[in-house]
Amino acid sequence: MVAWATHFRKSRRVIIGVSLVSVAYFGFYRTGCVCSIGSIQNVALALADGRNYTIPLVVLLLFLLPLLFALFFGRVYCGGVCPMGALQELVNIHNFRISRAVSWALGLIPWIYLAFAILYAATRSQFIICKFDPFIGIFRLGGDIGMIVFGALLLILSVFVGRPFCRFLCPYGVLLGLMSSLAKRRVEVTSEKCINCTLCHHSCPVDAIREPTSSNDKQTEKRNLGVKRIFLYILILPLLTISGALLLQSQSERLSLAHRDVWLYEQLQSQNNVSGSFNLSPEVEAFHEMGRDPEELQTSVLSVRKSYRIWSAIAGGLIGFVLGCKLIRLSTKRTRKTYETEASSCVACGRCFNYCPQNLKKPITKDETKPL
């Protein structure tokens, strides 16, 4: 329905209606779980340990369907179906514009979040997307006080800034943006011819509308300089990828403390050097009371740390690769004759539709074409 409202009807009212239903049903009634954002972790775990974990079909569909729709229609899932995005959209009143340089830098955070989410899920350590979900406490009307406060602050920020979670935190949003950049049908401000009236440009809450380029633009540079810079970034892309992989892999032993067996083993090792049972932590006491074998725990820890060395390199490589790609994209200049939406950034909220005079044209009926 959001795809229809976005591409054919050009109706923000329909999108808002879907948003209300999404917040009510998927948010407060279904308590925000399970969701497409969290399904990233299930997919990562299934790929890493498919022999011991089978991903539920519903979770797999929640992961794949929004990506499939994004490939054909853009980020229509963000437009009104996602309860987190819909909640931010419903409270947004004023749009304080963030500079594109700051937005570019903050845009790295979701990729870093995604990399660590994959790392911790693939190693069976934690589902950090669920653990640090800022809106789950609001939907469930209870939970960790710290996350509830964080979610409340994000909602307050959403009143003045368009969708801060979607733009600067959501790890699933960057995947949707990637698919949207390949979309067969991209979200457009109007189906009619753009008249460059500039009204839509300042209406976008996520700054996804790009202005026409001009030959007199001060930022215009000689073509050969731009090509040289892009070529340089392409050359250092493998270096950034390898450096990111090696850097994060060097911290794999410290990162592995997020796994319960590694943390317990370290506690056991440290407390074995302390005399007196009164110094034992509850976890270590439970370990001894259950009669678990320390050698079995040590074997598990060695296996976990081996897994961390592999997946931390993958996560670090992903971060380095994304950084390089963003630098290349930043240096790529496109020629635009009219105002266009940036497919990867547009969340299909429909706010720009009502600003475009081309969408407000009254259709001519057959009676109006008859001569007087």
> Which residues are 341's β-sheet partners?
209
Angle of helix 39-48 relative to helix 108-122, nearest 10 degrees? Answer: 50
Q: Is the peptide bond before 91 cis (omega within 30 degrees of 0)?
A: no
Q: Phi and psi at residue 341, in whole multiples of 5°? A: -85, 145
pLDDT of residue 295: 84
Tens of pLDDT, residues 11-45: 889 999 999 999 999 999 998 888 999 999 999 99
Question: Per the structure block, which two tokens stand in for 323?
Answer: 């950084």
Tens of pLDDT, residues 53-75: 999 999 999 999 999 999 999 99
The DSSP result for 17-73, as a single string, is: HHHHHHIIIIIIISTT-S-TTTHHHHHHHHHH-TTT----HHHHHHHHHHHHHHHHH
Q: Are the CB atoms for 71 and 341 separated by under 8 Å?
A: no
The series of mean pLDDT values per 10 residues for the chain, 372 residues long, is 85 92 93 91 94 93 95 92 94 88 93 97 95 92 91 95 94 95 87 86 88 63 71 91 96 94 86 61 74 83 95 97 91 83 90 87 50 46
| Nearest-5° Cα angle at 365, 360 to 368 | 105
Tens of pLDDT, residues 254-276: 999 999 999 988 888 877 666 55
Model pTM score = 0.89
Q: Are the CB atoms for 148 and 135 separated by under 8 Å?
A: no
Helix H segments across the chain? 2-4, 12-22, 39-48, 57-73, 76, 83-91, 100-106, 108-122, 128-131, 136-139, 145-160, 164-168, 171-180, 223-249, 252-255, 260-272, 282-289, 294-331
